[in-house]
Structure 1
Amino acid sequence: MKSRLLATTTVIALMTSACTTMEDTEMASLPQTVEYNPTIPQATSIFAELSPLYMHAPQFDQIADGEWQGIIEEAIAIQLAEMDAIASNPNAPDMGNTLVAMERSGQVFSRSYGAFSQIVGANINDTIAATDEALAPQIAAMNDSIYLNADLFARVKTIYDNRAAMAMTPEDAMLLETVYAQFVHRGAELGAEPQAELRQINERLSSLSSQISQAITTGQNEAAILVDTREELAGLSDGQITSAAAAATEAGHDGKFMLSVSNTTGVPTLAQLHNRDVRERLHNASVNRNQSGETSTLPMVREAIALRNRRAQLFGEPTHANWQMYDRMVSDPALAIGFMTDMVPALRATQEREAAVLQARIEQDGEDFQLAPWDWEYYAGIVRQERYALDNEEIKQYFVVDRVLEDGVFYMAGELYGLTFEKRSDIPTYHPDVSVYTVFHDGEAIALFYFDPMSRPSKRGGAWMSNFVEQSHLLGLRPVVTNTQNIAPPAPGEPALATWDDVGTMFHEFGHALHGIFADQQYPSISGTNTARDWVEFPSQFHENFAAVPEVLQRYARHHETGEVIPDELIEAIDRSSKFNQGHGFGEVIAASLLDMEWHSLDPSQPAPTDVMAFEGEALERIGLRSDLVPPRYRTPYFRHIFEHGYDAGYYAYTWTEMLHHDAYSYVEANGGMTREMGDRIVSTFLGQGHSKTYEQMFRDFTGRDPRVEPLLQARGLMAEGE
């Protein structure tokens, strides 16, 4: 057994002069400390110590799939032993022997689970899926054992109750506020009986989260449709058709063509396919997935909603949303709902206006059918091209994935922040598609960055950033971060090309990465991206703006065959068309955001809905948008964000932070644009601040004001310039 000193014992420094003595009674009144060296189980896995690789990158090549469960179960046991040792410390609680000790704990778990969770999302197989499902309730039980540990909470509460008399740094104070709030939120003040029920609820919810996520991934893969002839794929490029043929062959349907759905309701190829019947089949496959058969999530969704409502009851909260939003920038569900519903009338009017335009374009072709959801993006593409000379397939030819990253994203980071990047070949990864870069800041190596861009069946949909190593001065760790996307893979022998949406996502996810790379905090739990849901998307969305800065765009937007820089007319077309089709683009997001709030604003004293799809239909009717033509970005059965990612009662965050980023970027435009001086201000006010300050303070530190909604409305075309 290895012994490790978990707590920093209190040291009383007695400042005395040569002629000063201290009476025995005074000595007796001082706090006394005893030596405390608890024995902690020693880890035996490869994660027992920091990785010997550069910046402690995970040793993915040293772990077999079947080893992960044992590794993480051991890490859970060590984490619990560490926390029990802190709770049992005989010395009076203080920041060092309690809060700081807690920050030092759990390193074996953090190292192992950070690596494993990325494999679950980006390279899952049957063994990994089974391991994830087995571990989910154990991790929930671990968290409950920590937050429901009465002795541990008593120590935290003692420090919290005496905080006014303590000398603390601002980061110390924020850590204390955050940890105390987490304990209360997780049930530390509940009685024994409700705590016991809470443990059962949390374990079951964690199992459901894993099962729902895996079902969504499988459902997305199985929703792909087969097309018999090449002629039915008219409108797709030769490369897309070749990829569709290869996908069908790989699935055992040689001679046919396979079209996949995306993680969202909308499928990009709907904008290209001339054949209306194929469009309808593809749309229906997307919107109806996960509603029947082995991939149905409906029973699990019903149970998850009921359990969340019961948990809200245990805490005496009026809704799950009230319980969930305790630590947000917007902590009142009514404010989040009102923020979105205030935009519904203008957005509904935009949808009606755009639908009329598309219907007129259908009739212009001599067709007599009514606009349907599978027609919207196709005819929007035609109108976009006619009005703005914008052809998405033509634009795509200018966006080679690696060039967008290295000549676009990295160039922006260099101009704004003084970052440079060096590709490495000595760091093992979990899949051959992954690249690794050392990140330098003004010549000093400060981070590692992993990039995993292409979609594959083993990867869940969407895009995300995560940490393999969290920055912490306390632990002496620098950040190791990863960006994961789902860009359509090219046909064999062809370059990997990105859509304009893919490009925006690359800048978005790299904004998350920068939030982690520039983390400069003492404590890991409030470092970098460890912030509220309705703040963490602000730095990422903020950096999307730089994708269209002409100086940046002209560096990376070069034709994959000729090397020609993207013509000015195409750049102008992108800009002119940015407000077009907002009825669809913004409408699907607001519908999904309000659908999330509908599910999580239920009265927990009433039975949860038993018919998931009926409730969804009624909710969309209440929301008041044209969801018959523009379905929500995610329908309930495959709304992964709110059943796995922790965005329940939080999907509004994307729109809230969109407001923040448009207003913040207006400050950039008014104050010199993309300069090192501006970059230094960004880092010093919010990008490098983690959760060391309040979110409101960080925004005011950057802009000098509270956020305004007008720049968002103008950018979305819902309010005229100057209105």
Structure 2
Amino acid sequence: MNPVLADSGLPYGLPDFASISDDDFLPAYDAALAEHLAEVGDIASDPDPATFVNTVEALENSGRALARANGIFFNLEGPDSNPARQKIAQTLAVRLTEHANTIAMNPRLFARIEAVYATREEVGLTEPQRRLVEQRYRDAVRAGAALDETGQTQMREWSSRLATLTTEFGQRLLDDTNASAVLFDDVADLDGLSDGEIAAARRAAADAGHDGYLIALELPTSQGSVAKLTSADARRQVFEASIRRCARGNEYDTRDTVREIVELRARRARLLGYANHAEYVIAEQTAPSPQAAAGLLADLGDAAMAAGGRELDRIADGAQLQPWDVTYALAASQRSGGDIDIDEFEQYCELESVLRDGVFTAAHTLYGLTMTERPDLHGYHPDVRVWEVARDGEGVGLFLGDFFARPSKRGGAWMNNIVDQSRSLGTSPIIVNVSNLTKPDDGEKCLLTLDQVVTVFHEFGHAIHGLLSDVDYVSQSGTSVPRDFVEFPSQVNEMWALHRDVVGGYAKHYRTGEPAPEALLDAVRAATATETAHSTIEYLAAAALDLAWHRLGPDEIPVDVLAFEEQALRAAGLWSELIGPRYRTTYFNHVFAGGYSSGYYSYIWSEVLDAETEQWFLTGGGLDRELGRAFADAVLSRGDSVDPVQAHAEMLGRDAQVGPLLARRGLAAPGE
């Protein structure tokens, strides 16, 4: 059998990556797609009347070979791409879209789904079963099943073209991010970076065939190096390289790609009866409408811009700031807030300790999870490590950690599933966390900035959501929840990064092993007690930009992408010469290559629930097993088998309020 589809015999169904070559993927997909279509054909042609079991549940459990192939390939293509995989991804983007359309637009299948949907309240379905029926019906309608032949033909054409364009966007961004890395000849230009970061820059330059020091770009507009470099000219070079990505008129330029993506998304939404793509997307989210999402951004934006003006005045201290000076001045301001240099905290945040004695220990204390590294099991790259996960002594799945940056990996940090949990299928989760930390030289330690520590906790929050899943149906498993809810559990997990019962366990000096001084920990907590206005504005501007693009009609697509970007931010009240959006349009991977189109607002929407849950934990006793179990039982384990917002409200005993979020963001009015 093709090694992509073969049972590896490894624990929990971990793929045998070493046995798989890139040449195996397309033949595997040929077999898996054909098998899935045959299964669907049998369901659609079943002579018995349509029931939940023979139609909806059968459809849910079909396509297992295809799910396996997807779980393997797309966990390679993002974190370890190469030209062959990029070409395969372009081919698959169209084939998988056409395959999904063929199933969704199968008239006999849709008639059976529609029949089960019509009787869903009368046949004694459980809540997860009813939700599955409703979701399958909505998915089919939103894919064009209820359209006439002409409409279905258009849907097929537009969906295939969108699949090509979004794949192309992501690949161009990866290539231009690598091509835009900034080369410095003189190590003096890197003053302010740590010895480890300088060594990594030297190694990156050598790997690229250069002498000197190469500063790789991170995915967001703001670059970690810009917050540290003492040379204003060096900061300028890195900052400008960041904001010019994919907008330089070369082969990596994404502006025409963006325009076509936005237009086709708008046309598809209009064909399905929605005013625009944002309305189409948000119809499936917990937010009631695009207007509600935009309203939250506007309400927060007014307060954030006012706070941002005060913050800029404070850190400028009479000087004339440039855009590349702002994050540097913010960091300097935090350091100058007292006698303690909070940058010293990095010396106490070695990756192994943060993982073992911080992230994993907190998960054990709260949820009973135990992480046992399995060096006998191997991931898809030599840097990937594998842990077996048990809960209260019983194995629940595997966790793969892929922490270090490399040119083949797209920027950012994320969580993926290789295998989803499902009682119906008898599968246990295999979860991957991907980061882009600087890999240390042999024999050296990987030290994390505070932001990186928080990111590691955040991504493991997604992993917990997947690992604790306990549902029947795979499409309701773990993080398969509305996009504007999915960030909630990961944001909750961030709260433990500096919690007194957690930070004391991992914050040990990487050389001496001495615990971090309590005065340093207090200073770090004080400096990070609320988000900077700069960070809030960056985020809100990106979220507003996403909604602005996707609230356009098909006949409203602007010619000048960057001019529209400025116009949209001004209209949202979030334009600033000194503080740009977290992602500009041309490198906004989340919405033009990822799954967040019209959904980038979800981080702040989820943060309302997160801030409330943080208070629920703290007032209830903090890092407590009973609280963790209650949170897991009410929310984390249930995925989309219940209404997730309602489940959260039941846990709190009321609906979430926005007050704790405003306080956390430093946006509450005095006395609130």
Residue 132 of structure 2 corresponds to 175
Q: Which residue in 1 is equivalent to 2:609?
A: 660
Match of 2:552 among 596, 602, 612: 602
2:638 to 689, 694, 718: 689
Superposed displacement of residue 238, structure 1:
2.3
Q: C-alpha separation between the residues in 2 aligned to 1:666 and 1:216?
A: 39
The range that moved more, 241-250 or 435-444, is 241-250
**Aligned 1:378-389 pairs, distance under 5 A:** 378-389=328-339
User: Displacement, 1:542?
Assistant: 0.7
Q: Which amino acid aligns with 2:310?
A: R
- Which residue among 217, 222, 225 is the counterpart of 1:269? 225
The C-alpha deviation readout for 1:435-474, integer Å capped at 9, x for no partner, is 1111111111111111111111111111111111111111
Q: 2:623 aligns with which of 674, 679, 699?
A: 674
Q: Is the 8 A contact 2:378 2:384 kept in 1?
A: no
Give the alignment partner of residue 638 of structure 1, picking from 555, 562, 587: 587
AA paired with 1:713?
A: L
Q: For residue 224 of structure 2, what is the amino acid of its counterpart?
A: P
Deviations 1:97-149 (A, max 9, x none): 10111111010011111111010011111111111111110001011111111
Q: CA distance change for structure 1 residues 721 and 179 in 2, over 3 Å: closer, same or farther?
A: farther
Q: How does 1:611-622 map to 2 (within 5 A)?
A: 611-622=560-571
Query: 2:430 is matched with which residue?
Result: 480
Give 3-state SS (helix, strand or coil) of 2:400's partner.
Answer: strand
TM-score normalised by structure 1 residue count: 0.91
Post-superposition offset of 1:492: 4.1
Partner residue of 1:442 out of 392, 395, 398: 392
The answer to whether the 8 Å contact 2:178/2:216 transfers is: yes
Task: Say whether 1:648 aligns with 2:597.
Answer: yes
**How many Å separate the matches in 1 of 2:650 and 2:77?**
38
- Partner Cα distance (1:326, 1:720) in 2: 32
How far did residue 51 of structure 1 move?
A: 3.2
* Residue aligned with 1:440, SS: strand
Q: Could you tell me how far 1:50 is from its partner in structure 2?
A: 3.8
Structure 1 residue 581 displacement after superposition = 6.2
- Asked whether the equivalents of residues 386 and 399 of structure 2 are also in contact (C-alpha less than 8 Å), the reply is yes
What is the alpha-carbon distance in structure 2 between the residues aligned to residue 359 and residue 665 of structure 1? 33
- Tell me which of 241, 247, 251 is aligned to 1:291: 247
Confirm whether residue 578 of structure 1 aligns to residue 528 of structure 2: yes
- Measure the CA separation in 2 of the matches of 1:706 and 1:115: 39
> Gapped runs of 5+ residues in structure 2?
none
Displacement of 1:627 in angstroms is 2.8
Question: Which letter maps to 1:680?
Answer: R
- Distance in 2 (CA, whole Å) between partners of 1:698 and 1:567 is 40
Secondary structure at the counterpart of residue 168 of structure 1: coil
- Percent identity among equivalent residues? 39
Asked whether the 8 Å contact 2:530–2:664 carries over to 1, the reply is: no
For residues 549 and 51 of structure 1, the distance between their equivalents in structure 2, rounded to whole angstroms, comes to 41
In the comparison of the two structures, how many residue pairs are matched?
671
Q: CA deviation at 1:671?
A: 1.1
* Selected match of 2:480 from 513, 530, 535: 530
Within the alignment, does 1:504 sit opposite 2:461 as a pair?
A: no
Match of 1:403 in 2: 353
CA contact (8 A) 1:388 1:576 kept: no
Checking the alignment, whether the CA contact within 8 Å between 1:317 and 1:323 is kept in structure 2 is yes
Residue 657 of structure 2 corresponds to 708
Give the AA of the match of 1:466: N
Please tell me the residue identity of whatever aligns with 2:164: S
The aligned residue for residue 39 of structure 1 is none
User: How many Å separate the matches in 1 of 2:78 and 2:587?
Assistant: 15
- Whole-Å separation in 2 of the counterparts to 1:391 and 1:294: 44
Aligned with 1:378: secondary structure?
helix
State the match for 2:493 in structure 1.
543
2:85 to 104, 112, 128: 128
- 2:369 is matched with 419
Aligned to 1:489: 439
Report if the CA contact (8 A) 2:342-2:524 is conserved.
no
1:112 aligns with 2:61: no
Counterparts of 1:132 and 1:529, CA distance in 2: 23
Question: In 1, Cα distance between the equivalents of 2:391 and 2:493?
Answer: 18
Partner of 1:19: none
Query: 8 Å contact 2:4–2:24 — kept in the other structure?
Result: no
The one-character-per-residue Cα deviations of 1:402-452 (angstroms, maximum 9, x if unpaired) are 211111111001111111111102222111111111111111111111111
Q: Give the C-alpha shift of residue 580 in structure 1.
A: 6.0
CA RMSD of aligned residues (A): 1.4
* 1:663-698 Cα distance to aligned partner (Å, 9 max, x none): 111111111211111011011110101101112211
2:495 counterpart SS class: helix
Work out which of the residue numbers 53, 60, 75 in structure 2 matches 1:96: 53
SS of equivalent residue, structure 1 residue 629: coil
1:122 corresponds to which letter in structure 2?
P
Distance 1:627 1:694 in 2: 39
- Counterpart Cα distance in 1 of 2:167 and 2:42: 31
Unaligned runs of 5+ in 1: 1-43, 364-369
Q: Secondary structure at the match of 2:595?
A: coil
1:258 is aligned to 214
Q: Deviations over 1:565-588 (max 9, x none)?
A: 111112111211125662211110
SS of match in other structure, 2:424: coil
Partner of residue 453, structure 1: 403
1:607/1:73 CA distance change after superposition, 3 Å: farther
**Hey, what's the Cα distance between the residues in 2 that align with 1:520 and 1:479?**
10
Match of 2:306 among 349, 352, 355: 349
Q: Is the 8 A contact 1:322 1:331 kept in 2?
A: no
Rounded Cα–Cα distance in structure 1 between residues aligned with 2:474 and 2:580 = 40
Cα distance in 1 for residues equivalent to 2:407 and 2:4: 28
> What SS does structure 2 have at the residue aligned with 1:130?
helix
Could you tell me how far apart the structure 1 residues matched to 2:424 and 2:394 are?
A: 20
How far, CA to CA, are the matches of 1:676 and 1:47 in structure 2? 40
Amino acid at match of 2:186: T
Contact 2:530–2:663 (8 Å) recurs in 1: no
Amino acid at match of 1:664: T
3-state SS of paired residue (2:100): helix
1:450 aligned counterpart, secondary structure: strand
Q: CA deviation at 1:164?
A: 2.1
- Structure 1 stretches of 4+ with a deviation exceeding 4 A read none
Q: 1:412 to 1:720 in 2, by over 3 A?
A: farther
Q: TM-score, normalised by structure 2?
A: 0.98
The equivalent of 2:30 in structure 1 is: 73
How far, CA to CA, are the matches of 1:678 and 1:720 in structure 2? Answer: 31
**Paired residue secondary structure (1:504):** helix
The aligned amino acid for 1:490 is P
**Further displaced range: 647-656 or 609-618:** 609-618
Could you tell me how far 1:331 is from its partner in structure 2?
3.5
Give the match's secondary structure for 1:646.
Answer: coil
Q: 2: CA distance between counterparts of 1:126 and 1:525?
A: 31
- TM superposition shift of 1:700: 1.0
Q: Map residues 195-234 of structure 1 onto 2, 5 A cutoff.
A: 195-234=152-191
* Structure 2 Cα separation of the partners of residues 640 and 388 of structure 1: 38
Once the 2 structures are TM-superposed, how far is the Cα of residue 721 of structure 1 from its aligned partner? 7.2
SS at match of 1:596: helix
Question: Counterpart of 2:370 in structure 1: which amino acid?
Answer: T
* d(CA) in 1 for partners of 2:333, 2:530: 10
The one-letter amino acid paired with 1:615 is: F
